[in-house]
Amino acid sequence: MRTLGNSRVPVSALGFGAATLGNLFREVSDEAAHAAVDAAWAAGVRYFDTAPHYGLGLSERRLGEALRGRPRDSYTLSTKVGRLLLPGGTGGMDSGFAVPADQHRVWDFSADGVRRSIEDSLTRLGLDRIDVVYLHDADECGDDGAQALSEAYPALERLRAEGVVGAIGAGMNQVAPLERYVTETDADVVLCAGRYSLLDQRAGLSLLPEALRRGRSVVVGGVFNSGLLADPQPGATYDYKAAPVDLLGRALRIKKIAESHGVPLRAAALDFPFRHPAVASVLVGMRSAAEAADAAAMLAVEVPDELWDELREEGLMTL
């Protein structure tokens, strides 16, 4: 367990990324979703991350139901703000989530929007508080994140000062906007998705060193780059699209070297982010009890330094 930045909010090394519980790409039954949370809990996971965006609130509802019977002080829950859910939709697959589109998302990084989003999330979760709140995808909302930085972030600071939330930050898929929150704000943590993995180490160039220097934490998501580093084969996805041939070849080379050291590729991919001391937790999507157990087992694998040395020698790892 580590705490986030200067806050008192603890997180487990392995975190539960609950986008899967919102039917990301395919449906998950209520029973399988609950079993995934139960298995993760049994494996020691105590940090759970969700968002209104994930399945139009389905992820929040399912996660809240699965956690509701557990002591509230025994786990950490994070969700996100920036998108409000309003009635009415167009139907069909919704932004990659297999859910009825009976609602639609509206960008809102105003101060009022932040408070309303948190209130709505608490209702869906059915819990008494949220421990960590991230500004979600502020770089994608059309104004280069200006409103998020000028209105939403100060609103989060006020909520933290009031004790409504324990830690605040921003979560995005790009490095440069996250660096602004590390260098220009008093955020406790940033969530960096997909940019600190065995295939993409951009966050290690300046974001992570700057976070460490300033006492901020980094939570890393997307360590499998949406699938390629979990099972590299033709048809595998990278950043939710078909993986380019050159990246597939690179992943296969990494897999061969990892296995020559007795390490499954998934274990190497999970272990890699923790080589940087700014990283507090790694989020992994788990849609079943088997996936939760596998993630915990992979994180427990001891990865020898010789593996990292060989990857650097072969030009497959730059940091």
Express each pLDDT in 21-45 by its tens digit.
999 989 999 999 999 999 999 999 9
Model pLDDT, residue 101: 83
* 316 within a domain of the structure (yes/no): no
3-state secondary structure the chain: CEECCCCCCEECCEEEEHHHHHCECCCCCHHHHHHHHHHHHHCCCCEEECCCCCCCCHHHHHHHHHHCCCCHHHCEEEEEECEEEEECCCCCCECCECCCCCEEEEECCCHHHHHHHHHHHHHHHCCCCCCEEEEECHHHCCCCCHHHHHHHHHHHHHHHHCCCCCEEEEEECCHHHHHHHHHHCCCCEEEEECCCCCCCCHHHCCHHHHHHHHCCEEEEECCCHHHCCCCCCCCCEECCEECCHHHHHHHHHHHHHHHHCCCCHHHHHHHHHHHCCCEEEEEEECCCHHHHHHHHHHHCCCCCHHHHHHHHHCCCCCC
Cβ atoms of 48 and 18 closer than 8 Å = yes
| Stretches in the chain below the pLDDT threshold 70 | 90-93
Model pLDDT, residue 193: 97
Model pLDDT, residue 65: 98
Known catalytic residues? 54
Model pLDDT, residue 192: 98
Report the length, in residues, of the chain. 319
Model pLDDT, residue 35: 98
Q: What are phi and psi of 235, to 5 degrees?
A: 95, -10
> What pLDDT digit, counting tens, does each position of 92-138 carry?
667 889 998 889 999 999 999 999 999 999 999 999 999 999 999 99
User: CA separation (Å) from 191 to 112, 302, 318?
Assistant: 23, 25, 22
* 176 within a domain of the structure (yes/no): yes
* 304 within a domain of the structure (yes/no): yes
Structural domains counted in the chain: 1
45 CB neighbour count, 10 Å cutoff: 24
Domain of 81 in residue numbering reads as: 2-311
* 95 within a domain of the structure (yes/no): yes
User: Residue 9: which CATH number?
Assistant: 3.20.20.100
Model pLDDT, residue 318: 84
* 105 within a domain of the structure (yes/no): yes
Model pLDDT, residue 92: 62
CA gap 269, 289 in Å, rounded:
20
Model pLDDT, residue 5: 97
Model pLDDT, residue 161: 97
Model pLDDT, residue 240: 87
* 239 within a domain of the structure (yes/no): yes
CA gap 95, 179 in Å, rounded:
27
Q: What are phi and psi of 48, to 5 degrees?
A: -130, 130
* 99 within a domain of the structure (yes/no): yes
Model pLDDT, residue 91: 61
- The end-to-end CA distance of the chain, in Å, is 25
CA gap 226, 206 in Å, rounded:
23
* 317 within a domain of the structure (yes/no): no
